[in-house]
Structure 1
Amino acid sequence: MPTRTITLAYRKVLDVNSPKPWDKLVLADSYRELRMQAQLYNPGGQYRTFGELLHYVPGAEKLHFLVGGSIGGYVQQLKGVMPDIVNNVGRYFLKFTRYQFELINSDLHDPSKHQVAINFYTEPLHWHDTIASYLLVSDATAPAEANGEVLTHLFQLQPYLTIHSLRPAEPAATVG
């Protein structure tokens, strides 16, 4: 079976029900930053929600970027390892090369309504096979072992994890 190269994307959604301490810190700091940055777009305070700002205020879509800067330190704490996704033996293994912060919605007067997402994108992976709801992958940049073996990871597909991009295998050269 030819090996294809894929990039995975994982969308981590954070809201008041997010249980982990890291999630709560990201949520709190992004909310605080949103309230500060929103003052530029809402000086009279006539809009209450992020959705209203997007709808009525030109340029308010820049808030995704402006607020996203407040979580950079938290993302650095992950040391390039994607959160929440483990292989079949319970180890974190997916490395991400980039991320994108997204405000989903928020109420400038009620932090319990604040909801954000962080979209993580992996380094290239070789996709070797699919076994039921599991993918068998290996690091596309890692060299093979001295004996020719390739170290792999088997993991289950789950909500908010998707194949973001696919590069088909190169066709085999024909001899003739």
Structure 2
Amino acid sequence: MPDRLITLCYRKIIDATATRPWDKLVWGDSYTEFRLQAQNFNPENRYRSFGEMLHYVPGAERLHFLVSGAVTGYVQQLSERMPDIFNNLGRQFLRFNRFQFELINSDLQDKSKHQVAVNFVSTTLRWHDTVGQLLLVSDAAPAAAPGGEVLTHLVQLQAFLSIYSIQTPETDAPANAG
């Protein structure tokens, strides 16, 4: 199997059941910001939920972006390390270079219904092989170790982690006959 370049996407869903401190901060501050920003789309308090605003208020999809500012600082705290994803040695290794915040659900009168997702897209990886249920990957442009050795990681695809994009090496086009 030829090496392929891939990126992975991890969708981290955060709701009222969050137990980790980082998750709780993202959840709480995004709810506070949602309530603040929702006033611009719902000044008469006609709608209670994010879903209702999406359905009835033109431009309400902008709330995803407007609320994302409340979590940007928390994402920066991760130092480009994707949370919750570990290699088979239990080490956090996967770097991300972009993220997208998303409101899934929220309710202006019931904080427990607030649910968000942060979608992390990894830096480019070289996918060497699949070993059982694990992907054998390395940095796309690894620093060559003595003897041409390349350091690798084994990572299992799991819930909310998937291959986001794939790029196969270009092959030479066949010569024109004729």
Give the aligned partner of residue 138 of structure 1. Answer: 138
Aligned sequence identity (%): 62
Structure 1 distance, partners of 2:172, 2:128, is 16
Give the aligned partner of residue 23 of structure 2. Answer: 23
How many correspondences in the alignment?
A: 174
Structure 2 distance, partners of 1:16, 1:34, is 15
What is the correspondence of 1:70-149 to structure 2 with a 5 Å cutoff?
70-149=70-149
The Cα offsets for residues 83-133 of structure 1, whole Å up to 9 and x where unpaired, read as 000000000000000000000010011110000000000000000011121
SS of residue in 2 equivalent to 1:100: strand
- Structure 2 gaps of 5+ residues are none
Structure 2 distance, partners of 1:22, 1:141, is 31
Structure 1 distance, partners of 2:120, 2:15, is 17
What is the correspondence of 1:59-74 to structure 2 with a 5 Å cutoff?
59-74=59-74
What's the CA shift for 1:142?
2.0
The RMSD of aligned alpha carbons is 1.4
Give the aligned partner of residue 51 of structure 2. Answer: 51
SS of residue in 2 equivalent to 1:54: helix
Structure 1 distance, partners of 2:144, 2:71, is 36
Give the aligned partner of residue 163 of structure 2. Answer: 163
Query: Partner amino acid for 1:103?
Result: L
SS of residue in 1 equivalent to 2:111: strand
TM-score (norm 2): 0.95
